[in-house]
Amino acid sequence: MTSPARVVLAAPGSGQGKTTAATGLLGALRRRGDRVAPFKVGPDYIDPGYHRLAADRIARNLDPVLVGPDRVAPLFHHGAAEADLSVVEGVMGLFDGRIGGGEEIALGSTAHVAQLLDAPVVLVVDAKGQSHSLAALLHGFRAYRPQIRLAGVLLNRVGSDRHEQVLRAAADDVGLPVLGAIPRTADLEVPSRHLGLVTAVEHGAEAVRAVESMTDVVESSVDLNALAGLARTAGQLPGPAWDPAEEVEPQAEAARAPVVAVAGGPAFSFGYAEHAELLEAAGARVALVDPLRDERLPEGTSGLVLPGGFPEQHAEPLSANTALRREIKTFAETGAPVHAECGGLLYLGRELDDHPMCGVLPARASMAPRLKLGYRDAVAAGESPLFAEGTRVSGHEFHRTATEPAHGDVPAWFWRDAHGVHREGFLHGGVHASYLHTHPAGNPAAVARFVARCLR
C-alpha cells in the first residue's frame, strides 16, 4: 500500500493555536485543489467538526489508548484513502499523554501518534511574548526525544514584521525552518464554554465563516508548497487499511437488517464515524434522529444509540419535544437495546437542570462545580446489550455535569484509582448508560453484540 503524505501539527502546550492552524491549513490545501484528509489525536469530538468543514471530508480520531496502538496506522490508512495529503492535529503539548504509564513517550500523546505514523512534526508556537528565547524552546523540544522528527515550526499570533524577523532568526539558530507566520487577528476566535469550543454543528453559519477566516489567513501566511513537500517525506507506513467488515461478523442478511436509530444534531454530536461503519458491517441499517427536531423514532427502530454532546445547552427544547421523549421511554421499557454515552445518559434521566427528560433512568442531572476528565480502565459490572460481565475496556470521561444518584443499583462500570473503586453508570433492562466514552473501533465485538440483540 502506498503511504499517504502526512504531517502532524503539535504544540508546546494547549492554547497555542493548533486548531486554527490545522483547520486553516486543511481549508487552504483544499482550496488549491488538494484532496485532504483530517485527523485529530485523542478523544476530542469538537475540533474534528471544524476540520470536516474545512476539508469537506469526514474527520477521524487517532487514539492509541482507546483503540490500541496497533490499530492507529490501519485507521489512518482507512481515513486517508484517496487523499493527496493528511493533516493530523495533535492534543495538548507534543509529549503530553496518559499519566503514569512509565513509557519513554507517553501513551496517547501526539508524539506517540507521530511515531506510530512515522510522520514529520511541525510545532505550532504562540509567538505572543516570544523573542530570541524561541530558539531555546525549539532546541529543547527537538532534543528531548530525538526519535520524534521535529521538522519545522509554524508561528502563531505574530505581532509585526519585525517580530516575525526576530522569530525566524531564532528558529534559524537551531536549524528549524519556519513554514509560516500567522498574524494576530480577532477573526480567528471561536466561542468556547465549559468543555472547550462550541461545536461546529451548533455554531452553524458562524462556524463556516470562522473556517473561511482561518483558511484565508493560513493561505496568505503559510508556505503551502513547503509544508506539502515536508508531508511527502513521511516514511513508508506498512499494513492494510482498517476494514469494518473484517472486524465484525454480519448478524443479519440485508433483508432482515435491523434499524438502529442514532441520535445526532446540535445536542448529540459526539460520535465516531467508525461506529456507523461497524453497525452497518454487522448488518444493521443506521437511521439518524435529531431529538431537537424529530418527534418520532425512525420507522422500524429496534435499537437506539444516544451519543454524547451538549444536551445541557439544549435542555429546554429537548424537554419541549414531549412526543419523542415519551416514545423513547416506551421503547426502552420494552427491553430494546439502548446505548447511551454521556449526553445520552443525561437525556435518559428524569430531569436535566430541572427540565423533564425521558424518564427512563431514575437520575436527575445538573451542572457540577468541577470538570471530570481522563482515561479510565473499566470493567463491565453486569451483562448488557454491549458487554459481557467482566469485559475490560479503555474509556474516556469528559463532563461537567453530575447525576443523582451517581449510578444505578447495577452500575455500568467499575474502575479503580488512587481513591478506591468507583461505580458508574446504569444498567436498566436493555439500557447501557454511562458517562464513559468508548471507541467502537477498539471494541468491535460490542457493536456486533448490540446488533445481535436488536435482532431479538
Whose cell is 433512568? That residue is 361
Q: Max Cα separation, the chain?
A: 70
Instruction: Identify the active-site residue in 342, 386, 393, 441.
Output: 342
- Is there a catalytic annotation at residue 342? yes
pLDDT at 419: 82
Cell numbers for 59 = 474527520
pLDDT at 190: 55
Q: How far apart are CA 292 and CA 317, in angstroms?
A: 6
Residues 6 or more apart whose CB falls under 8 angstroms from that of 379 comprise: 390, 391, 392, 393, 413, 414, 415
Give me the residues paired with residue 261 across strands.
Answer: 287, 304
Q: What are phi and psi of 257, to 5 degrees?
A: -60, 120
**Count of beta carbons in the 10 Å neighbourhood of residue 285:** 17
pLDDT at 255: 73
What are the mean pLDDT values of the chain's consecutive 10-residue runs (456 residues total)?
Answer: 87 94 97 98 91 95 98 97 97 92 90 98 96 97 97 96 97 98 73 50 76 94 98 93 96 86 95 97 97 98 96 96 98 98 97 97 94 94 98 95 95 90 96 98 98 94
Contact between 368 and 400 under an 8 Å Cβ cutoff? The reply is yes
Collapsing DSSP to helix, strand or coil, 361 comes out as coil
Cell numbers for 41 = 489525536
pLDDT at 194: 38
Q: How far apart are CA 18 and CA 103, in angstroms?
A: 25
